[in-house]
């Protein structure tokens, strides 16, 4: 198997693109694809300050690294969720990565902000850990970006994530979620920062190969709370179809971004400002502050 670009020994075959590549050209291929995605969907500009939520996994490290390599102004934000050893490891790997590549990383501790780690908070609130975690991350990434003059939050969602979420939402006709499942969510409120997914056309496997070849030391374990049987089944189904017809995931998700049959008009949701923290919400008090109140956390 030879690299299609240089003829040297290829290390990977990408059936969706009908191409085999050596290490060097796989790196180039991925970075160019991210750059083209950014241009094609007008995700970000070189004069915008970009915040990348960094978990310590391959996708978020790749996002931070590639955006920086492409010349974008980028910094990372790691949220330590307080999930025992898993969170310790994640923070350490994130910090090592940042210092190795001279990238700026901010760290927030959920325990300091809520007075409880995420699992402790979930237990106290009798809610699933994943729902508390999602709420905390959504809120803090946006707040941190807004308060520190970032114009964009760029997450590391890959093609497998996006295709599976989209398929799940379509199988259940979750209309609101389908409309909002885009590669770019523009700001709809002065305190709501634009969100983009520059890796959304890069598959899980491509992303892993990139991190591996770059020699990134990323956290490989899944979060111990991640079970997500449904989402795993849906990913398996898509992988089966991909195996049979390479390019299925890309056609499906990219086709979604370009299709013209699903209505795009979101119902105009009137956003108010939370009476406690001032951040956008559809209610009087936002879900984050409601949670803080129920936990008896101090309000900063």
Residues binding a second copy (CB under 8 A)? 170-173, 175, 178-179, 229-230, 233-234, 236-238, 240-241, 244-245, 248, 251-252, 255-256, 258-263
Between 46 and 263, name the residue whose CB sits nearer to a second copy. Answer: 263
Closest distance of CB 248 from a second copy, Å? 6
By C-beta, is 250 or 271 nearer to a second copy? Answer: 250
Contacts of 142 (CB under 8 A, 6+ apart): 153, 191, 192, 193, 279
Cβ distance to a second copy smaller for residue 18 or 237:
237
75/161 with CB nearer a second copy: 161
Give min distance, CB of 209 to a second copy, in A. Answer: 24
Residue number, 166 or 219, with CB nearest to a second copy: 166
Q: How far is the CB of 250 from a second copy (least distance, A)?
A: 11
CB of 249 to a second copy, least distance (A): 9
Residue among 261 and 299 whose Cβ is closer to a second copy = 261
> Which candidate, 11, 9, 5, 8, places its Cα nearest to that of 28?
5
| Interatomic CA distance for residues 246 and 14, integer angstroms | 9
**Which residues are CB-neighbours of 291 under 8 A, at least 6 positions away?**
114, 121, 125, 132, 135
How far from chain centre, in Å, is Cα 98? 18
Q: For a second copy, which is the closer residue by CB, 99 or 245?
A: 245
Contact yes or no for 153/98 (Cβ under 8 A)? no
139 close to 114: Cβ distance less than 8 angstroms: no
Distance CA 238, CA 242 (A): 6
**Residue 272 structure tokens:** 């108010």
Closest distance between a second copy and the C-beta of residue 238, in Å? 8
What contacts 184, CB < 8 A, 6 or more positions away? 41, 42, 43, 194, 195, 196, 197
In the complex, what is the shortest distance from the CB of residue 16 to a second copy, in angstroms, rounded to a whole number?
13
**In the complex, what is the shortest distance from the CB of residue 252 to a second copy, in angstroms, rounded to a whole number?**
5
What size, in residues, is the chain? 300
SS3 282: coil
DSSP state for residue 183 in the 8-state scheme: S
Euclidean distance between CA atoms 152 and 44, whole angstroms: 8
């Amino acid at each position: 198997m030879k690299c299609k670009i240089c003829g040297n020994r290829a290390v990977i075959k990408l059936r969706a693109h009908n191409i085999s590549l050596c290490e060097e050209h796989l790196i180039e291929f991925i970075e160019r694809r991210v750059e083209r995605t950014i241009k094609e969907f007008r995700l970000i500009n070189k004069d915008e300050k970009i915040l990348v939520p960094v978990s310590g996994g391959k996708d978020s490290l790749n996002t931070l690294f590639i955006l920086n390599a492409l010349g974008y102004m980028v910094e990372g934000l790691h949220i330590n969720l307080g999930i025992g050893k898993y969170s310790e490891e994640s923070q350490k790997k994130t910090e090592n990565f940042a210092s190795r590549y001279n990238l700026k990383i901010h760290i927030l501790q959920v325990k300091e902000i809520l007075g409880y780690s995420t699992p402790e908070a979930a237990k106290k609130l009798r809610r699933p850990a994943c729902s508390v975690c999602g709420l905390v991350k959504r809120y803090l990434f946006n707040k941190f970006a807004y308060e520190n003059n970032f114009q964009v939050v760029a997450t590391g969602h890959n093609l497998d994530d996006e295709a599976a979420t989209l398929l799940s939402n379509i199988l259940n006709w979750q209309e609101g979620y389908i409309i909002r499942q885009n590669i770019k969510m523009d700001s709809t409120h002065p305190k709501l920062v634009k969100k983009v997914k520059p890796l959304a056309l890069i598959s899980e496997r491509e992303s892993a190969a990139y991190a591996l070849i770059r020699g990134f030391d990323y956290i490989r374990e899944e979060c111990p709370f991640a079970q997500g049987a449904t989402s795993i089944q849906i990913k398996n189904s898509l992988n089966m179809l991909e195996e049979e017809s390479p390019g299925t995931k890309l056609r499906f998700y990219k086709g979604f971004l370009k299709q013209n049959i699903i209505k795009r008009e979101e119902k105009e949701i009137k956003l108010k400002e939370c009476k406690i923290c001032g951040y956008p919400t559809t209610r009087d008090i936002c879900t984050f502050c409601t949670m803080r109140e129920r936990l008896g956390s101090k309000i900063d």
